[in-house]
Amino acid sequence: MTEAQRAQSEADRVDAAKVRRVVRGGSWATYARDLRSTNRDADVAGQRRSDSGFRVAMQVLDPAATSVFSEQGADEFGAFADQVIGAVTVRFRWIPGGSFVMGTDHCNDWSCRNEGPAHRVTFAAGFWLGEHEVTRSLYRDVMGEDPSYFADSDPQCPVESVSWLQAQEFCRRCNVRLQGIRLALPTESQREYAGRAGTSTLFCTGDAIAPGQANYNHHVGRPVPVKTYAPNAWGIYNAHGNVWEWSCDEYHPTFAGAPDDGSAWVGDGLAPELAQAGEDRPSVLAQVQEFASEDGSTGFSVVLQIGSDRARSVRLGVVDSEQAYRIADIINEGPVRLLD
């Protein structure tokens, strides 16, 4: 990579770190009012806070290939699939397709100024969502480090003090390791829909929430292990509290013009490929492939898959792996995996 390319890459990184991204769910430090299912906030992508973490959504690239899971079944909360990532088994919950009213028009307080207008969002297909936040143990296994402020906390506590950019890099590294699936941050609408679990009340617990149901308002004073409190009706732990969770959406001050199909609102509102797992619609998925050059060195290209037909693809030759991933991430608005 030339000096000019390095300078451009660093400039792009700095610019990306300044973009405001949506966080959802409230945290161990927030008031109960900030745990509402409709509540949303934002931080710049490079921000790291001791009450911010993330969870991931999963897309199965070939829906017929259930062999990608180490275990799959159903329990009182619905269908689940276990995926081994490194030395850690991560359980994903199947969130069924459906429709819900996102946000609220009943706002008479500054804290809910950005939650309207209310609008109906319809998921034509269901999606897989991690049943809890990414833990310190899993993050360390994938990233080789743990940025958490609470360094003495249980390994099963959510990783925190992690930026949106670090969460994206976590997904990218997972996608390089994994076969047949793709991980990404959930969309804002996916997070609210899954957190609600079919409810229309202020919280998934009803119109009130208590310290025995979530970690908030400094009752504990720090994050707790991810399965400390009971999950919601769809098996999602910490739908409220513990740590704020990054979504892939850019922040908009209102929902005016927001997508109504469950996709992410990024820039002009175009969705990343993961937004509607399983939906067959025109789209472009960019993935990175490496190959052996004639001189014995390793080359890289970006493969663009057009729509759901793998036969329809375009290959772009690029200089190196860093450039390849940067191009693919820009196209996808999110992390990509390395093709076989």
Where exactly are the structural domains of the chain? 9-278, 282-340
User: Quick one: how many helices (H) and strands (E) in the chain?
Assistant: 5, 15
Question: ∠ at Cα 305 (299, 310), nearest 5°?
Answer: 105
The CATH fold assigned to 9-278 is paralog of FGE (formylglycine-generating enzyme) (3.90.1580)
* pLDDT of res. 266: 84
Q: CB neighbours (10 Å) of residue 153?
A: 18
Q: What is the reported pLDDT for 9?
A: 53
In angstroms, the CA 279 to CA 259 distance is 15
pLDDT at residue 68, as a whole number: 79
pLDDT of residue 106: 82
Instruction: Give the helix ranges, DSSP H, for the chain.
Output: 3-18, 136-143, 164-177, 188-196, 321-332
Cβ neighbors of 125 (< 8 A, separation 6 or more) are 97, 276, 277, 278, 279
At residue 336, the pLDDT reads 54
User: What pTM was estimated for this model as a whole?
Assistant: 0.77
The tokens of 327 are what?
């191009």
Distance between CA atoms of residues 254 and 205, nearest Å: 26
pLDDT at 231: 98
Q: How far is CA 292 from CA 54, 285, 300, 305, 307, in A?
A: 36, 23, 9, 21, 28
237: region left, alpha or beta (phi > 0 left; psi from -120 to 50 alpha):
beta
Q: Give the model's pLDDT for residue 271.
A: 34
SS3 state at 72:
strand
Q: Are strands 40-44 and 20-24 parallel, antiparallel or unpaired?
A: antiparallel
CA 185 to chain centre: 1
The pLDDT value recorded for residue 203 is: 97
DSSP E strands in the chain: the ranges are 20-24, 40-44, 52-53, 57-60, 71-75, 78-85, 88-95, 98-102, 119-123, 127-130, 181-184, 244-250, 284-292, 298-306, 313-318
d(CA 120, CA 122) in angstroms, rounded, equals 7
pLDDT score of 302:
72
pLDDT along the chain (340 residues), means of 10: 53 73 96 94 94 96 76 95 93 97 83 89 96 98 96 97 96 91 95 98 96 97 98 98 97 94 74 37 62 63 62 64 70 58
- Asked whether the beta carbons of 235 and 210 are under 8 A apart, the reply is no
Query: Within 10 A of 67 (CB to CB), how many other CB atoms are there?
Result: 10
> In whole angstroms, how far apart are CA 22 and each of 94, 154, 199, 203, 246?
23, 27, 22, 19, 6
pLDDT value at position 279? 37
pLDDT, residue 2, reads 58
Enter the DSSP assignment of 127.
E
Amino acid identity at 64: A
